[in-house]
């Protein structure tokens, strides 16, 4: 963000956490015609993604009891921080904080807010899109392998990345966040489809399954394995970096503040998210137990088990719906980066982006994500190590933002609770980084730079 935002005399609006170009110029707040349905679609698509497929791997390391406990506590924790963000959106009279970074700056000051907020927010935007390219591209290759009669794959991994990225570029050309609700709906339906297929197929085959050779005992109880598994569960709670942005698409007035509509959307969407997450984690772990790689790594390693155990049609259905979900999730995850790029442009040019300039910005950002994906195809192996920094956005920052803006009485119950929860979240982020680093030092990492 430019340091001169508050000094430029161009048309500005104070209704978004500080003097920034008119909200009508920027893609996140260009349209405030959203409703509870569009917000629900956005929340569901951004909140349930490819990370849900890592949950069985976490259960394989933690076991039944601790897996369920940690997943339940993490889900409740995420809901609490969402509640904080929803109520902080209009916590200051006459101001709507429609961007996470703007709320961080308002809470912690310009320098500290940027220092704490820019990297995790931009990582959760651009980094998520790069991982979508890696995962979606490799899933396309795996789908072609399943469909081929001779088992040969005519496409290279790089070609699959190009196919996915080209489709993603086209889908990113919607003008603003609110206009993406159709993609979010499709992405949410696809997420429900592949999650349902993943947990229902083992249940449907109970009469024919032999569970005698499946073990659910945890074999490795070392520090790095346990905390790496907890980290896999933690990074599955995604989407908090988009809460304020999604709420910014809703209309708001004194009689009907946006927080009421937004909270209804949060409740509805997270009922479906909870059902999908718990069923995938519990049923898949029950069905495959120690066959699931407890190390995480590439998303859906165990999907190859579905290719072996079920029909080719079932495996193709799971892979196709998963690819479509990745494509639909891409534009909404990229939107904060697009909005930030356009903010810099409108600040300097004192005018909104033309259709051509907006399109070029999005093509450029998609190319950056593509080159990161090609250059660092091992990013999924670093999910916990890098994702631990992004976890601060979900589990830590909202608590301290609440204290800074709402200013509850010092040492009151609400003050102590938020300080405790925020501090525990920061501590866990450090532990996840340490555990992931120890695991990498022990197991090693095949860093194939620019060799997908």
Mean pLDDT to the nearest integer, 107-122: 88
Element holding 12 (H helix, E strand):
strand 12-13
Q: Which of 285, 242, 234 is nearest to 45 (CA)?
A: 242
Highest mean pLDDT pick, 121-130, 132-141, 376-385: 132-141
User: Does 382 map to a domain?
Assistant: yes
Task: Supply φ then ψ for residue 20, to 5 degrees.
Answer: -135, 165
User: Does 185 map to a domain?
Assistant: yes
User: Does 144 map to a domain?
Assistant: yes
Higher pLDDT, 293 or 193: 193
Please check the confidence at residue 89 and state whether its pLDDT lies above 70. Answer: yes
Cα 104 from Cα 99, distance rounded (Å): 9
* pLDDT value at residue 27: 92
* pLDDT value at residue 274: 95
Task: Supply φ then ψ for residue 439, to 5 degrees.
Answer: -65, -40
User: Does 310 map to a domain?
Assistant: yes
Enclosing domain of residue 161: 30-206+215-443
Mean pLDDT to the nearest integer, 255-259: 89
User: Does 353 map to a domain?
Assistant: yes
Burial 434-449 (b: 16+ CB within 10 A, else e): ebbebbbeeeeeeeee
| Least confident stretch, 133-137, 160-164, 358-362, 435-439 | 435-439
User: Does 93 map to a domain?
Assistant: yes
Reading phi first (left if > 0) and then psi (alpha if -120 to 50, else beta), residue 219 is in: alpha
Model pTM?
0.89
Q: What is the pLDDT of residues 29-66, one digit of tens each?
A: 888 999 999 999 999 999 887 888 889 888 888 888 99
CATH number at residue 376: 1.10.4160.10
Instruction: Work out the end-to-end distance of the chain between its first and last CA atoms, rounded to an integer number of angstroms.
Output: 33
Q: What is the pLDDT of residues 269-292, one digit of tens each?
A: 999 999 999 999 999 888 888 777
Contact 197, 320 (CB under 8 A): no
User: Does 196 map to a domain?
Assistant: yes
Higher pLDDT, 166 or 382: 166
* pLDDT value at residue 201: 86
* pLDDT value at residue 6: 34
Q: How many domains does the chain have?
A: 1
User: Does 424 map to a domain?
Assistant: yes
* pLDDT value at residue 425: 93
């Amino acid at each position: 963000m430019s340091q001169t935002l508050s000094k430029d005399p161009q048309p500005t609006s104070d209704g978004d956490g500080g003097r920034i170009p008119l909200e009508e110029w920027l893609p996140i707040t260009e349209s405030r015609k959203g409703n509870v349905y569009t917000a629900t679609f956005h929340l569901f698509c951004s909140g349930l993604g490819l990370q849900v497929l890592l949950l069985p791997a976490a259960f394989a390391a933690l076991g039944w009891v601790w897996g369920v406990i940690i997943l339940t506590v993490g889900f409740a924790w995420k809901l609490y921080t969402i509640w904080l963000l929803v109520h902080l959106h209009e916590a200051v009279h006459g101001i709507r904080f429609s961007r996470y970074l703007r709320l961080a700056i308002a809470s912690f000051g310009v320098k500290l807010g940027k220092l704490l907020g820019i990297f995790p927010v931009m990582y959760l935007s651009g980094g998520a899109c790069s991982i979508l390219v890696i995962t979606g591209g490799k899933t396309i290759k795996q789908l072609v392998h399943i469909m081929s009669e001779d088992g040969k794959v005519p496409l290279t991994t790089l070609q699959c990345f190009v196919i996915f990225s080209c489709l993603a570029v086209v889908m990113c050309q919607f003008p603003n966040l609110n206009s993406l609700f159709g993609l979010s709906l499709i992405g949410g339906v696809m997420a429900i489809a592949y999650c349902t297929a993943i947990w229902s197929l083992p249940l449907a085959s109970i009469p024919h399954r032999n569970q005698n050779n499946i073990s659910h005992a945890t074999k490795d109880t070392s520090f790095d394995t346990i905390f790496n598994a907890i980290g896999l569960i933690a990074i599955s709670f995604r989407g908090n970096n988009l809460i304020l942005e999604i709420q910014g698409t809703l209309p708001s007035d004194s009689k009907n503040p946006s927080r009421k509509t937004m909270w209804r959307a949060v409740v509805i969407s997270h009922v479906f998210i909870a059902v999908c997450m718990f069923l995938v984690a519990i049923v898949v772990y029950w069905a495959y137990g120690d066959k699931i790689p407890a190390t995480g790594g590439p998303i859906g390693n165990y999907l190859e088990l579905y290719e072996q155990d079920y029909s080719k049609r079932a495996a193709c259905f799971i892979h196709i719906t998963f690819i479509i979900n990745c494509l639909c999730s891409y534009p909404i995850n990229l939107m904060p980066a697009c909005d930030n790029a356009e903010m810099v442009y409108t600040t300097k040019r004192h005018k909104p982006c033309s259709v051509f300039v907006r399109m070029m910005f999005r093509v450029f950002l998609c190319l950056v994500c593509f080159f990161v994906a090609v250059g660092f195809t091992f990013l999924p192996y670093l999910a916990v190590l890098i994702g631990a920094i992004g976890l601060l956005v979900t589990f830590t920052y909202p608590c301290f933002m609440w204290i800074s803006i709402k200013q509850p009485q010092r040492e009151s119950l609400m003050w102590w609770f938020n300080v405790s929860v925020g501090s525990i979240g920061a501590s866990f982020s450090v532990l996840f980084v340490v555990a992931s680093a120890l695991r990498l030092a022990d197991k090693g990492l095949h860093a194939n730079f620019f060799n997908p």
